[in-house]
Amino acid sequence: MKKVKILMATGAFFLSGMMFTACGSETATTEAEEQTANSEVYQCPMDCEEGKTYEEPGQCPVCEMDLKKVES
Ligand SMILES: [Zn+2]
């Protein structure tokens, strides 16, 4: 009976360790998503400047249309 108790304790410890690991990888995923969000660029919907992109939303200096978000 003693061995069973030890096994259960070990199992619980192992499970809590796995849950901790899962939480850790979740945080890593969120950080990766934030990095992707920062790489968003804006571009004229008419592509006046042949692929030129802007890091912030605004207006195209050529046709004065609102810049469109480009998702790479
Ligand atoms: Zn334009």
pLDDT above 80 for 13: no
Largest CA distance in the chain: 81
The C-alpha atoms of residue 52 and residue 47 are separated, in whole angstroms, by 8
Distance from residue 42's CA to the centre of ligand 1 (Å) = 11
| Bridge partners, 41 (sequence order) | 70
What's the confidence (pLDDT) of residue 25? 60
Confirm whether pTM is higher than 0.75: no
Distance from residue 63's CA to the centre of ligand 1 (Å) = 4
What's the confidence (pLDDT) of residue 58? 96
Residue 24 belongs to what domain range? 1-39
Model confidence over 37-69: pLDDT tens digits? 567 899 999 999 998 999 999 999 999 999 999
Please indicate, yes or no, whether residues 34 and 50 belong to a single structural domain of this protein.
no
Please indicate, yes or no, whether residues 2 and 13 belong to a single structural domain of this protein.
yes
Please indicate, yes or no, whether residues 15 and 49 belong to a single structural domain of this protein.
no
pLDDT above 60 for 8: yes
The C-alpha atoms of residue 58 and residue 64 are separated, in whole angstroms, by 9
pLDDT above 90 for 35: no
CA angle 20, 22, 28 (to 5 degrees): 110
Ion ligand 1: residue ranges with CB closer than 5 A: 44, 46, 48, 60, 62-63
